[in-house]
Amino acid sequence: MISLDFNFNILTRDLSHYLENQVKVGLFGSGVGLSLVLGFSAAYTCYYLISVAKKPQLISGGKKFYQFLREQCPVVSETYYPTFWCWESRIQTLLRPFVTAKPGVVYRNELIKAADGGQISLDWFDNDDSLAHPDPATRPTVLLLPGLTGTSRESYILHMVQQSRDLGYRCVVFNNRGVSGETLLTPRTYCAANTEDLEAVIEHIQRTNEAAPVMAAGVSMGGMMLANYLGRKGQETCLKGVVVFSAGWDVFECTASLEKPLDRFLFNSYLTSCLQASVHRHRPVLEKCYDIDHVMKAKTIREFDERFTSIMFGYPTNDDYYHDASPVHRLKSVQVPMLCLNAADDVFSPSHAIPVEAVKQNPNLALLITCHGGHIGFLEGLWPRQSTYMDRVFKQFAKAVIEQGSRLKDLS
């Protein structure tokens, strides 16, 4: 087999030899300039095609689910070509909110009551113009869960709503308490470990449209919450399938990764400030139970969780909370088909913590790992304004689950 390893020393030597012996003009002459451009372009193209653009790795605990994905979701077998000028993980992560378009979506908001007296905000896209499913009683419903501080207005959520609209499905976005502009009625927000609000939302969706099939997609912390929910419920859920994007599987590893100097500067401090801003908005109701001044002095997500989240949800220590919030411990109990997309270069969910072995032990799980893509990035194309690789995975899997779901009833 011919080795595809790329040796930059050899390339540099050959280019230098070419420039010295073949181009007989001055250093700043047009011949040398053109040669440098062509040489660099050729080198970059070679490196990109050999080391960057690769087929994803598909792992499943059972042959039936694996074969289903290969047949119904061709994207899992295709080479992923990240945008050639921004394939590095941090750049993908930082640029996606700015370069991807935000499709126009008009939601119908609904506030439902929670058991503790709080309220949960749901944003519905009813898709009443659906030609594929004109009957609202049986129109498939896709439940979407945003990330840590995300809402229904995030670009990645809007893209999934658009993909669902094209398929003729209805969407509902579960906004975590206090993040989408609604009033916080009780001194309680949300966390990745607690799935009580999610359970209430899923039961409400099922009661509202009893004859409609339901699937779900979660992004980042939303995916963690979904995975924890499935691990707790087993077969006692109406969800026909779940797809999870850029989830953090081991919270200890995720926070440790985000506390490295560069990632702390780029991501950790910003997310901490977003969490604190949400707490500040609801200070009148929260300060009755928590030391908000102490919370507002947190410099990292870990410090925020130590001073606020773990206390709110009654954990003895923050380590107890992080262990309970880590979906890796519940994967063995998942009884619903769940596809998980992670990038190996995601600094939020480091590759060594991606639960490959746990997935291999459960026939209901499949893991799709790309070499690049960052955290909720997965940009592709020359100018990635529209669809991303993540969007294509979502659309194909959603369609497969809704239209071919009978083939997924017994994956063992």
Query: H/E/C letters for each residue in 212-260?
Result: CCEEEEEECHHHHHHHHHHHHHCCCCCEEEEEEECCCCCHHHHHHHHCC
Distance of alpha carbon 301 from alpha carbon 305, whole angstroms: 6
Query: According to the model, what pLDDT value does residue 41 have?
Result: 80
Q: If you average pLDDT over residues 318-335, what whole number do you get?
A: 98
In this predicted structure, which of 31-45, 240-254, 279-293, 321-335 has the lowest mean pLDDT?
Answer: 31-45
**375 catalytically annotated:** yes
Q: Name the band, by pLDDT with cuts 50, 70 and 90, for residue 30.
A: low
Domains and CATH numbers, the chain: 57-250+331-405 (3.40.50.1820), 254-325 (no CATH)
Q: Are 364 and 62 in contact (CB under 8 A)?
A: yes
Q: Which residue has better confidence, 10 or 81?
A: 81
25 pLDDT above the threshold of 50: no
Catalytic member of 130, 220, 257, 278? 220
- pLDDT number for residue 35: 77
Give pLDDT, residue 28.
43
Choosing from 305, 375, 387, 391, which is the catalytic residue? 375
Q: Once rounded to an integer, what is the mean pLDDT over residues 298-323?
A: 98
Q: Which of 346, 349, 372, 387 is catalytic?
A: 346
> What's the pLDDT at 7?
47
Mean pLDDT calculated for residue range 318-329: 98
The Cα angle at residue 256 between residues 253 and 257, in degrees rounded to 5: 85
Q: Which of 37-46, 94-103, 198-207, 274-283 has the lowest mean pLDDT?
A: 37-46
**pLDDT, tens digit, 9 for 90 and up, residues 252-272:** 999 999 999 999 999 999 999
Over range 13-38, report the average pLDDT.
55
pLDDT at 10: 45
Has 126 been annotated as catalytic?
A: no
pLDDT at 353 over 60: yes
Is the pLDDT confidence value at 24 over 70? no
Whether 319 sits among the annotated catalytic residues: the reply is no
What is the pairing mode between strands 170-175 and 239-245? unpaired
pTM: 0.90
Across the chain, what does the average pLDDT equal? Answer: 92
Give the pLDDT mean for 10-35: 50
With CA atoms as reference, report the closest residue to 83 among 94, 74, 69, 72: 94
d(CA 391, CA 314): 37
Order of all β-strands in the sheet with 365-370: 57-60, 365-370, 338-343, 239-245, 214-219, 141-145, 170-175, 119-125, 108-113
